[in-house]
Structure 1
Amino acid sequence: MKLPVVYAMHWDNIPENILKKQRSVFDHLQIELIQENANKISHGTWMNDVIKRKSSDDIIIFCDIDAFPMRRSAYLMAVENAERGAIFGLAQFSNHKKGTELYAGPMFMAFRKSTWEAMGSPALKSSTDHDAAEVMSALARKEHVDLVLSRPSSCLIPKWALGNEGVFGIGTFYGECDFFHLFESRKPAYELIFSEVADDVVADRPLNFRRYLEIVETLQPPEAERGRAGRAQGFWHRLFK
């Protein structure tokens, strides 16, 4: 069976090097990636457009332009969960919305289209109550659809609360270093972090956290100041449950 394609959208404000490094990781892992320029189109509107192109039996996978799986097995695990009717995603929390629970974030998210259809084919656009794609997790809980979340294990610059379960931020690693998401890739200051992590994955090297932290130390305020609490602990936040 042909494995599903991964879709990533970007606006014109994303540096070309971010696109290039993401492509290099997917090429290395032999995962088909389609990067689409949907400039000025909302994330949720674009996701619904992608879904419309697919048949009911298709597995749909979304990935943020500054995120990637760090091993092929992580991608396959997401596919397997989607095939059995579950919704897989990286654990996210909307600090600026009304939601009180974690949800499957579309920075890497997999589900079968028929699962989405069974929940009423919801619009994935951000709303008053939910961030982009968050409604799927709310409906999954209501309708007893299995929700599989890969939670953050560490991050380089802690910045946001993950509900009552910990923190996430710039340069967040999920699971057992299964996935990586930079966040705020539009800011040039963070581009080198993304490049270094991607290069280590492509070269099959051990992750060089010391190097990543050295890069963080060179950032100028306010970026560096936001991570002060993290630096006091070596910027290494383990969020075990």
Structure 2
Amino acid sequence: MKIHISTFYKSNISDYLLFYQKQVFKMLGLELNQICDNDISHGDFMTRILRDTEADYFVIFDIDCIPLKKEAISRVIEEIKDNTISGCAQTAKHFNNGKNIYVGPCFFAISKEVYNLLGRPDLNENKVLEVDAGGILSKLAPEYGVKLNYWYPTDVEEEKWELYPDKVFGIGTTYEGLVYHLFESRYQKNIVKFIRKSNATINNNWSLNPIKYAVIKLEILLFKIKMRSQK
């Protein structure tokens, strides 16, 4: 069983997001592929990964999204083994007054088998109205008997948007107590929240590998020194 975990970003992203996301995955013992490409969209990235990468299962994160425990990956993989797409519940505000729900691409899991079953669609969100990259697959799923499994918010640092039908999400949203998505990471004030959550996650999971924890803490210290010297 081969699992491919990846995230997409453009070169203008904050160094803090890249660094701390990678350190969290390292602490949890999870291999993350951080892929930079300035010439494609998020949907193009997902299409390329799902079509061209040899793997049985795919888990895709936004660059400002992290697992809080290793269990996040094992759980979502078990969920998608049963002809299912699973991940964070998302609402498209610009469609039907937000009265819709789909598995969003901020934390998204699917098997190669299900992607092929859905016809290996192009996920460029500019080519399909009313949904984003993740929403395209959620929209197709019922036609092919594919189930959708939603991870819902269990904690929100700054409530901002309604999540159909009766929940809310916002800046710093935790889903099922296992995955954290920052949102609006272009703002420095929000990046501070991501750094704080990443540090807490690393500290909370130190017992997985105390030696690795010590190395990561040193790398964080060196990173801080480097960033201060660049100011």
TM-score in terms of structure 2 length:
0.82
The one of 58, 61, 69 equivalent to 2:59 is 61
Residue 148 of structure 1 corresponds to 149
CA apart distance, 1:6: 0.9
Residue 195 of structure 1 corresponds to 195
Supply the distance in 2 between the matched residues of 1:129 and 1:117 (Cα, whole angstroms).
23
Map 1:83-162 to 2 at 5 A.
Answer: 83-98=81-96, 100-126=99-125, 127-162=128-163
The one of 65, 69, 77 equivalent to 2:75 is 77
CA apart distance, 1:83: 2.4
**1:42-99 CA distances to partner (integer Å, 9 max, x unpaired)?**
10011101112224x6211110000011111111011112223211111111102347
Map 1:22-37 to 2 at 5 A.
Answer: 22-37=21-36
Structure 2 counterpart SS, 1:125 = coil
AA paired with 2:171? I
Structure 2 counterpart SS, 1:5 = strand
- Structure 2: where are the runs of 5+ without partners? 206-231
CA apart distance, 1:134: 0.3
Contact 1:69–1:179 (Cα < 8 Å) also in 2: yes
What is the percentage of aligned positions where both structures have the same residue?
A: 32
Residue 217 of structure 2 corresponds to none
Supply the distance in 1 between the matched residues of 2:165 and 2:80 (Cα, whole angstroms).
27
Contact 2:163–2:169 (Cα < 8 Å) also in 1: yes
Contact 1:159–1:169 (Cα < 8 Å) also in 2: yes
Residue 45 of structure 1 corresponds to 44
- 4+ residue runs over 4 A deviation: none
Supply the distance in 2 between the matched residues of 1:149 and 1:102 (Cα, whole angstroms).
9
AA paired with 1:77? R
Larger mean CA deviation between 41-50 and 81-90 belongs to 81-90
Map 1:184-223 to 2 at 5 A.
Answer: 184-204=184-204
CA apart distance, 1:198: 0.6
CA apart distance, 1:21: 0.5
Contact 1:97–1:128 (Cα < 8 Å) also in 2: no
Contact 2:64–2:182 (Cα < 8 Å) also in 1: yes
**1:85-125 CA distances to partner (integer Å, 9 max, x unpaired)?**
21111111110234742111111111111201111212212
- Structure 1: where are the runs of 5+ without partners? 206-241
RMSD over equivalenced CA pairs, Å: 1.6
Supply the distance in 2 between the matched residues of 1:131 and 1:70 (Cα, whole angstroms).
25
AA paired with 1:191? I
Structure 2 counterpart SS, 1:8 = strand
User: 1:52 and 1:144, CA in 2 relative to 1: closer, same or farther beyond 3 A?
Assistant: closer
AA paired with 2:194? F
Contact 2:85–2:149 (Cα < 8 Å) also in 1: yes
Supply the distance in 2 between the matched residues of 1:192 and 1:5 (Cα, whole angstroms).
28
Residue 6 of structure 1 corresponds to 5
TM-score in terms of structure 1 length:
0.79
Aligned residues: 202
Say whether residues 1:15 and 2:36 are aligned partners: no
CA apart distance, 1:185: 1.1
